[in-house]
Chain A
């Protein structure tokens, strides 16, 4: 089974509107972390937001918020007031502990390409 699923290969949004990028995850661990990264056309991976599995409140970072629904195992990214510079590829990721080796493994989704229209 896929650890991270992003079902939207591409999305369009009008400038200044809000957009939600979907992400579902699969884990049997109690302690894990969820992340979103942005990859603009220039290629670098930019960390946007983090949610710990024990965090009761949804994470927010400026115009980014993570809609964390633990029971549904979803971690959707909401971008409010979209800007042209938000056009990029967005990756959802999960950190899981690997007890046998005492380190953390990260899993990435296949990404969603967001296009912001003027």
Chain B
């Protein structure tokens, strides 16, 4: 009963290739996100989706194209991979409507996908 799952866990590929990372959440959340964590562990938000709609694109290159076929899935497709794309990519989800005192206000993270571009 994994809450947020990502596949694959590891991805090694050559520069210039196109690859996809899949994300699914079974929490019934409306909002999903993609983060990139670089080698210095800095977490950078890439995209925010709300009910299948792109809400925020945080100045990510056009080579990155998220797709949300339904509100439980948010996949990330990357074209023409570059060396600088090597990182850990995290998918996350959260509630849209927030109740101050409820204990499930946080973002739930997937296990991450370690992408290595050679």
Contact = CB atoms under 8 A, between A and B. Distances in A.
A76 B94 CA distance: 23
Interface string A36-62: 010100011101001011110000000
Contacts of B109: 37, 44-45
Nearest to A107: B45
A27 interface: no
A33 B43 contact: no
Interface residues of A, number: 31
Given A45-B109, A104-B96, A50 B103 contact: yes
Interface string B33-51: 1000000011101001010
Size category, B interface: 20 to 34
Contact of B112 (A35, A44, A93, A106): A44
Contacts of A95: 94, 98, 105-107
A91 interface: yes
Interface of B: 30-31, 33, 41-43, 45, 48, 50, 55-56, 88, 90, 92, 94-96, 98, 100-101, 103, 105-109, 111-112, 114
